[in-house]
């Protein structure tokens, strides 16, 4: 006679699932063994909040397939590849639920799929895919575009400054960030003092962002105007005659270039 385990999702829906399928989930397995729950409708195992009926169905499909012993690695791989062909929202639901059920292989599979979805995209594209609001900078488009245009290897610094100096609206200096400490097995010191990350601004990062414009995207003239503009207050100790000469040369140059460049 087939055995069933009774499961209850947070919306109150109770269903029965084949025992071997349900027991594939470590969390359910533990509940059954430790508390003897799940044997009848009245004693259904209450599943974690993140497991809604739809995603439970998906997870049970996964368990139903994989709990069969005889399958080859190739079969399992093919199933897995098809299984994660889901949209971003479904993947997120799935990974959250699998995580709360402690179904590690499914968490890994879904993590990998989500990572593939992220890789190669721009920040804006990622936000769109996962419906994430950008709370990093005040001046969303211009700021990001400039920051993302920059190369990245030693550019962590620019990302640092990119969001710290949001257009004159500095994050409140006393806004404490609880430094979330991930419990790392190799972590030697579990007690960390609160550090206010955003409070520490680099002195150099404060003003440059607004001045950086990506050269190739600009017309020559506007760049040159930028260079030769009267607003620069650093020119004091420069020989004015030389500066004027340089300005003129540059203007000449720009004109020559424009005529050459217009092909």
Partner 1 sequence: MVYSLPEEVLEHVFSFIVSDKDRNVVSLVCKSWYEMERWCRRRIFVGNCYAVSPSIMIRRFPEVRSVELKGKPHFADFNLVPEGWGGYACSWIEEMSKAYPWLEEIRLKRMVVTDESLELISTSFKNFRVLVLSSCEGFSTDGLSAIAANCRNLRVLDLQESEVMDLSGHWLSHFPETFTSIESLNMSCLGSEVSFSALERLVARSPNLKTLRLNRSVPLGKLSTLLHLAPQLVELGTGAYSSGIRSDVYSSLSKAFLGCKEIKGLSGFWDVDLSYLPAFYSVCSRLTTLNLSYATIKSPDITKVISQCPNLQRLWVLDHIEDSGLNALALSCKNLQELRVFPSDMYAADANVTLTEQGLVSVSQGCTKLQSVLYFCHQMSNSALITIAKNRPNLTCFRLCIIEPRTPDYLTHEPLDIGFGAIVKHCKNLNRLSLSGLLTDRVFEYIGVHAKKLDMLSIAFAGDSDLGLHYVLSGCKSLKKLEIRDCPFGDTALLANVAKLATMRSLWMSSCAVSIGACKILSQKMPMLNVEVIDENGTLDSKLDSCLVEKLYVYRTVAGPRSDMPGYIWTMDRDSSSRI
**Long-range contacts of the stretch 107-113 (C-beta < 8 A, 24+):** 109/80, 109/83, 109/84, 110/84, 112/84, 113/84, 113/86
Judge whether 15 and 47 are in contact, CB under 8 Å: no
Q: How far is the CB of 111 from partner 1 (least distance, A)?
A: 5
- 6-45 binders of partner 1 (CB under 8 A): none
Q: How far is the CB of 256 from partner 1 (least distance, A)?
A: 8
Phi, psi values for residue 215, rounded to 5°: -50, -50
- 232-261 binders of partner 1 (CB under 8 A): 232, 234-235, 237-239, 242-243, 246, 249-250, 253-254, 257, 260
Nearer to partner 1, 11 or 236 (CB): 236
- 138-197 binders of partner 1 (CB under 8 A): 144, 147-163, 177, 180, 182, 184, 186, 188, 197
| DSSP secondary structure letter of residue 18 | E
User: Would you call 95 exposed, middle or buried from its count of C-beta atoms within 10 A (0-12, 13-18, 19+)?
Assistant: buried
Nearer to partner 1, 53 or 226 (CB): 226
Nearer to partner 1, 30 or 104 (CB): 104
Judge whether 47 and 25 are in contact, CB under 8 Å: no
Q: Which stretch binds partner 1 (CB under 8 A): 10-18, 28-36, 67-75, 132-140?
A: 132-140
- 97-116 binders of partner 1 (CB under 8 A): 99, 107-108, 111-112, 114-116
Could you give the angle at which helices 53-66 and 104-118 cross, rounded to 10 degrees?
Answer: 110
- 71-100 binders of partner 1 (CB under 8 A): 88-89, 92-93, 95-96, 99
Nearer to partner 1, 2 or 186 (CB): 186
Alpha helices in the chain (DSSP H): 19-22, 26-35, 53-66, 73-83, 88-100, 104-118, 123-130, 140-149, 156-164, 205-208, 220-228, 240-261
- Angle 18-20-23 (CA atoms, 0-180°, nearest 5)? 105
- 45-74 binders of partner 1 (CB under 8 A): 50
Structure tokens at 29: 């397995």
- 206-235 binders of partner 1 (CB under 8 A): 207-208, 211-216, 218, 220, 223-224, 226-227, 232, 234-235
- Of residues 120, 168, 190, 230, which one binds partner 1 by CB under 8 A? 120
């Amino acid at each position: 006679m087939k055995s069933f385990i009774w499961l209850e999702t947070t919306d109150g829906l109770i269903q029965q699932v084949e025992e071997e399928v349900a027991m594939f989930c470590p969390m359910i397995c533990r509940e059954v063994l430790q508390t003897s729950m799940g044997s009848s409708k009245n004693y259904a195992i209450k599943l974690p909040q993140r497991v809604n009926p739809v995603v439970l169905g998906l997870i049970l499909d996964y368990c139903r397939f994989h709990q069969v012993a005889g399958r080859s690695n190739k079969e399992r791989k093919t199933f897995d590849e098809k299984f994660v062909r889901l949209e971003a929202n479904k993947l997120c639901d799935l990974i959250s639920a699998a995580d709360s059920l402690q179904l590690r292989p499914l968490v890994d599979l879904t993590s990998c799929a989500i990572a593939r979805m992220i890789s190669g995209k721009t920040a804006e594209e990622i936000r769109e895919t996962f419906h994430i609001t950008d709370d990093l900078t005040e001046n969303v488009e211009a700021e990001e575009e400039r920051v993302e245009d920059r190369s990245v290897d030693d550019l962590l610094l620019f990302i640092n400054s990119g969001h710290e100096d949001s257009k004159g609206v500095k994050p409140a200096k006393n806004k404490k960030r609880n430094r979330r400490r991930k419990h790392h097995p190799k972590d030697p010191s579990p007690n960390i003092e609160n550090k206010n990350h955003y409070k520490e601004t680099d002195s150099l990062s404060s003003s440059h962002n607004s001045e950086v414009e990506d050269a190739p995207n600009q017309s020559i003239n506007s760049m040159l105007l930028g260079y030769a503009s009267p607003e620069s207050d650093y020119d004091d100790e420069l020989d004015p005659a030389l500066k004027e000469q340089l300005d003129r040369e540059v203007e000449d140059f720009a004109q020559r270039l424009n005529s050459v460049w217009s092909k």
